[in-house]
A and B are shown apart, each in its own frame.
Chain A
Amino acid sequence: MLKQIDVLIIECNPEDQKLVSAYLREYDITYLIAKNGDEARKLMSSIYFKLLFLDISLPDIDVCQLTKIIREDMKVNTPIVAMTANSILKTKDQVFEAGMNGCLHKPVGRVELVGMLTQFLPEEKLTSGTYDQFSIIDLSYLREVSLGDEAYELEVAEIFIEMIDQDLLSLQAHFESGDREQLSVVAHRTLSTIYIMGLKSKLDSVLRSIENGGIAKGELKRKLDLVLSVCEAAKSEAMLFIHALKAKNHQA
Chain B
Amino acid sequence: MNCLIVDDSAIARSILKNMLPIGDSLTLIAECENAADAYKILAANKIDLLFLDIEMPAMTGIELVKAIGDKRPLIIFVSAKRDYASDAFDLNVVDFIAKPVTPDRFLKAVIKAKEIFKNQNLFVPSKKDAFIFIRDSGIIRRIKLDDINYLEAKGDYVKIYQDDKTYAIHSSLKSVEDKLPLEMFSRVHRSFIVNIGKIDTVEGGTLIIKQCFVPVSDAYKALLNKRMQIL
Instruction: Tell whether, in the assembled complex, residue A195 and residue B100 are in contact, meaning their CB atoms are under 8 Å apart.
Output: yes
Instruction: Tell whether, in the assembled complex, residue B10 and residue A196 are in contact, meaning their CB atoms are under 8 Å apart.
Output: no
Query: What count of chain B residues pass the 8 Å CB interface test?
Result: 30
Instruction: Tell whether, in the assembled complex, residue A192 and residue B21 are in contact, meaning their CB atoms are under 8 Å apart.
Output: no
Specify which of B9, B18, B24 is in contact with A193 (CB 8 Å cutoff).
B9
CB nearest to A145 among chain B residues: B15
Distance to closest chain A CB from B219 (angstroms):
34
Distance to closest chain B CB from A104 (angstroms):
10
Instruction: Tell whether, in the assembled complex, residue A185 and residue B101 are in contact, meaning their CB atoms are under 8 Å apart.
Output: no
Distance to closest chain A CB from B79 (angstroms):
9
Known pairs A14-B24, A15-B111, A189-B8; A144 contacts B103 (CB<8 A): yes
A96-121 CB contact bits vs B (8 Å, 1 = yes)? 00000000000111100000000000
Distance to closest chain A CB from B92 (angstroms):
23
List B contacts of A163 (CB < 8 A): 9-11
Does A215 have its Cβ within 8 Å of any Cβ on chain B? no
Instruction: Tell whether, in the assembled complex, residue B102 and residue A145 are in contact, meaning their CB atoms are under 8 Å apart.
Output: yes
Instruction: Tell whether, in the assembled complex, residue A15 and residue B102 are in contact, meaning their CB atoms are under 8 Å apart.
Output: no
Does A22 have its Cβ within 8 Å of any Cβ on chain B? yes
Does A173 have its Cβ within 8 Å of any Cβ on chain B? no
A13-24 CB contact bits vs B (8 Å, 1 = yes)? 011101100110
Does A230 have its Cβ within 8 Å of any Cβ on chain B? no
Distance to closest chain B CB from A18 (angstroms):
5
Instruction: Tell whether, in the assembled complex, residue A15 and residue B110 are in contact, meaning their CB atoms are under 8 Å apart.
Output: yes
A19 to B23, CA, bound (A): 9
Query: What count of chain A residues pass the 8 Å CB interface test?
Result: 32
Does B142 have its Cβ within 8 Å of any Cβ on chain A? no
CB nearest to A162 among chain B residues: B10
Known pairs A152-B18, A159-B14; A19 contacts B80 (CB<8 A): no
Specify which of B7, B57, B104 is in contact with A19 (CB 8 Å cutoff).
B104
Distance to closest chain A CB from B9 (angstroms):
4
Count of A-B contacts with CB under 8 A? 86
Does B108 have its Cβ within 8 Å of any Cβ on chain A? yes
Binding site for B on A (CB under 8 A): 14-16, 18-19, 22-23, 107-110, 141, 144-147, 149, 152, 155-156, 159-160, 163, 185, 188-189, 191-193, 195-196, 200
List B contacts of A149 (CB < 8 A): 18
List A contacts of B7 (CB < 8 A): 192
Closest 4 CB pairs of A and B: A192-B9, A195-B100, A107-B107, A14-B24
Instruction: Tell whether, in the assembled complex, residue B111 and residue A192 are in contact, meaning their CB atoms are under 8 Å apart.
Output: no
Instruction: Tell whether, in the assembled complex, residue A195 and residue B99 are in contact, meaning their CB atoms are under 8 Å apart.
Output: yes
Instruction: Tell whether, in the assembled complex, residue B10 and residue A159 are in contact, meaning their CB atoms are under 8 Å apart.
Output: yes
14 CB-based A-B contacts, threshold 8 Å:
A19-B104, A107-B105, A108-B104, A141-B102, A145-B19, A145-B101, A145-B102, A159-B14, A163-B10, A188-B80, A188-B81, A192-B7, A195-B80, A200-B100
Known pairs A109-B102, A188-B55, A191-B99; A147 contacts B22 (CB<8 A): yes
List B contacts of A15 (CB < 8 A): 22-24, 107, 110-111
Specify which of A108, A109, A146, A188 is in contact with B18 (CB 8 Å cutoff).
A146
